Amino acid sequence: MRIFAFILTCLGGLNWLMIGALQYDFVAGIFGTQANVLSRIIYFLIGIASIYILIVTVFGKGRLKLFGYKKKKEPKRTEVEDF
């Protein structure tokens, strides 16, 4: 879920970059106009994904885990190893 939201948020950011730099709306270019139902659905999904990423990052104390990696377990120390 987080990866999908992250990808949508990145695509939305790139779309805004294209709007600002080139005055071209990529989503509207694909689906015809900004008022098209499919364009509005894409814009809505990008907005929800951005809010989700923001909430996950805030509750994750500034960290966004995209993959469920596990920490390596350290071997238990014994008294023999301390010498």
pLDDT tens-place string over residues 53-71:
988 888 888 777 777 666 6
For residue 70, the model assigns a pLDDT of 64
Residue predicted with more confidence, 77 or 6: 6
CB proximity list for 41: less than 8 A, separation 6 or greater: none
Torsion of CA 25, 27, 29, 30, to 10 degrees: 170
Q: Which three-class secondary structure state does DSSP give residue 33?
A: coil
DSSP for 58-73, written as a single string: HHTTT----S---PPP
